[in-house]
């Protein structure tokens, strides 16, 4: 968190933080939009079981992937053992 925006190159840690923050913001935005759509569909449409189920599955996937990092469980051991700084460097 030492970036002062004066043209200095970002460290891997800072890059990782920005990338991580972007993913979190994207996930919460999708979840918020999906929740609003879900509510509108439920109020406006009668017998909305199928669309509501689809929206719930989409929201569930975004939580699992975006917040819970479920894919890490299926990644190789070497990859999951990388330090955050190393991950940041590889993303660059």
Q: How many helices (H) and strands (E) does the chain have?
A: 4, 0
Residue 21 CA to residue 8 CA, distance in Å, equals 20
Q: Which residue lies nearer to another protein by CB, 8 or 24?
A: 24
x/- contact string, 19-38, with another protein (CB under 8 A)? -xx--x--xx--xx--x--x
The torsion angle over the Cα atoms of residues 35, 59, 64 and 1, rounded to 10 degrees, is -40
Binding site for another protein (CB under 8 A): 1, 13, 16-17, 20-21, 24, 27-28, 31-32, 35, 38-39, 42-43, 46-49, 52-53, 55-56, 59-60, 63-64, 67-68, 72-73, 77, 80-81, 84
């Amino acid at each position: 968190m030492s970036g002062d925006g004066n043209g200095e190159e970002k460290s891997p840690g800072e890059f990782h933080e920005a990338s991580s923050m972007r993913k979190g913001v994207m996930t919460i935005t999708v979840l918020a939009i999906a929740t609003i759509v879900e509510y509108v569909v439920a109020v406006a449409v009668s017998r909305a079981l199928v669309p509501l189920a689809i929206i719930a599955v989409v929201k569930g996937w975004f939580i699992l992937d975006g917040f819970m990092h479920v894919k890490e469980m299926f990644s190789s051991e070497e990859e999951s053992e990388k330090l955050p700084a190393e991950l940041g460097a590889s993303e660059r």
